[in-house]
Structure 1
């Protein structure tokens, strides 16, 4: 995604969507995709698009930031039954 110059702030409406607060994002601030990351820096909320790795180097870098697998992530033991002869005619 190309880097753009900072834009002037624009006042927008906040509203309720069920139990969540939502913000109307004007077209000139539209983000790609259908998911975003949101985090707080002091009293500011930062909203940024979720980007997917575009090559193997980015994929490996993204995986390195994930926490290691724990015991709950291990595959369960499965009894491997021997194959039975089948009559296919």
Structure 2
């Protein structure tokens, strides 16, 4: 696969844009663009699964609320 290709820059409204050739396309629909000196570096963002996001959360320092408080016992519920 080619890793380098000459492309043309164009205007899209007030933004400068370029078309990414098919052989250089990135997966996903989001990326981070940063400038390093005279170069632009484009890094694709990979979506994390829910378990990965939850694993990154800090534990809570407060107790969980009693969600059953004030509700009748389960054996007294009529349908």
Query: What TM-score, normalized to structure 1?
Result: 0.52
CA contact (8 A) 2:3 2:24 kept: no
In 2, distance between residues paired with 1:23 and 1:55? 33
Question: Runs ≥4 in structure 1, deviation > 2 angstroms?
Answer: 58-61
In 1, distance between residues paired with 2:38 and 2:32? 16
SS at match of 1:25: coil
1:38 aligns with 2:26: no
Query: Which runs of no fewer than 5 residues in structure 2 stay unpaired?
Result: 59-79
Which residue does 1:12 correspond to in 2? 7
In 2, distance between residues paired with 1:44 and 1:51? 22
In 2, distance between residues paired with 1:48 and 1:8? 15
Aligned residues: 57
Q: Deviations over 1:1-27 (max 9, x none)?
A: xxxx8x542110100000000011100
By relative contact order (CA 8 Å, sep 6+), the higher-ranking structure is 2
Q: Deviations over 1:22-71 (max 9, x none)?
A: 01110011011222110011111011111112463x4244x68xxxxxxx
1:53 aligns with 2:48: yes
